[in-house]
Amino acid sequence: MYILRHPKQGMAPLSIARAPGAPGEGKMETLGTANTHNTILRDGSDCIVAHISEGPVTLLVTAFLEQQGDPVPALRVDQIGLDRPGACAPSSLAQPARHVAPLPSARAIAPAPPAAAGIQIGAHGITLIGHVEREGDIIAAPGDLLGDPHSLLRLEGFQVMWPDRPEGVDLAYNIVVEGGGALPMVKSGKFCGTRGEARRIIAVTFALIGPQASQWRLDGTAYFSGGYQVPLQSAVALSGPSGLEHLTAVNLSATLDEQVGAQRNPWQESASTKVFKSNGTAPRLAS
């Protein structure tokens, strides 16, 4: 058994999940403190207890950084020594591990911003980190799918990471949750959605914003239950045909393309806002 802890207050949250693509490993059962959902360590008051059995387990540890250059917290791992039949009692119940390293029953990939080790980000690469029903937090390299469009597992939330984002452009996104309405729009680097609440995303919107947004093109596809797939369009809400299908997967990319400069982006950020008033009517905003 192991205790996984955040190093201290005031540093980026850490996501704890099984590393994808590691077959033939053992079982892992987790129990976390309140608000961790057994996957997220936000500060020094959080911890997750992991019981590893029937073989080693590889962990994917991801740091959610606000911006490039922020310090990367180091996951604290304490092994709990348990008495076994016929064995001498251990001299200490907890053996602190100074570094995240291969352990007898667990291996951990050290935190890496914004993607896990082994994932290469291209010149304008967008990496997606999301929370999938029953699978926890997973990561998709630039160009890869986040989630599985061939399953019914819900993609319950996601975070867009664009570490080499150029000046003057950003990606904004929001979702509509069944029974909860639309969540606030956020920009790249922020998580949008829920974790461990069994809530379905029934619509999603992505938009390129900023003074240089007209020079970029947004491509990708949103996949919904029932086998429906919808191509991405900047600032257009995407959903299934009935509006009740839930999001199962998504992929997206942003490409520099001066030919799209003439396309109007309704989410384009404006330096000023004008207010027009007319007698007997409420004010209307126009940008």
Comparison of pLDDT for 145 and 75, the residue scoring more: 145
Q: Which two tokens stand for residue 218?
A: 């947004």
Query: Confidence class of residue 4 from pLDDT cuts 50, 70 and 90?
Result: confident
Comparison of pLDDT for 47 and 89, the residue scoring more: 47
Statement: residue 116 has pLDDT above 50 = no
Q: What is the pTM of this model?
A: 0.51
Q: Rounded mean pLDDT of 93-121?
A: 37
Comparison of pLDDT for 275 and 136, the residue scoring more: 136
Query: Confidence class of residue 11 from pLDDT cuts 50, 70 and 90?
Result: confident
Comparison of pLDDT for 136 and 120, the residue scoring more: 136
Q: Rounded mean pLDDT of 143-164?
A: 91
| Res 83: pLDDT | 55
Q: How far apart are CA 14 and CA 29, in angstroms?
A: 18
| Res 269: pLDDT | 46
Question: What whole-number percentage of the chain has pLDDT above 90?
Answer: 29
Query: Confidence class of residue 251 from pLDDT cuts 50, 70 and 90?
Result: very high
State pLDDT tens for residues 195-221. Answer: 878 889 999 999 999 999 989 999 999
For residue 114, whether the previous peptide bond is cis, meaning omega lies within 30 degrees of 0, is: yes
| Res 102: pLDDT | 36
Statement: residue 24 has pLDDT above 80 = no
State pLDDT tens for residues 262-274. Answer: 444 545 544 444 4
The average confidence (pLDDT) of the chain is: 75
How many separate helices (H) and strands (E) can be counted in the chain? Answer: 0, 23
**What does 71-118 look like in DSSP terms, one character per residue?**
PPPPPEEEEEP---TTPPPPS-SEEEESS----SS-EEEPP-SSS-TT
State pLDDT tens for residues 156-185. Answer: 999 999 888 889 999 999 999 988 889 999
**What does 110-177 look like in DSSP terms, one character per residue?**
PP-SSS-TTPPP-TT--EEEEEETTTEEEEE-TTS-EE-TTS---EEEEEEE-TTPPTT-EEEEEEEE
State pLDDT tens for residues 223-247. Answer: 999 999 999 988 899 999 999 999 9
Q: Rounded mean pLDDT of 84-98?
A: 39
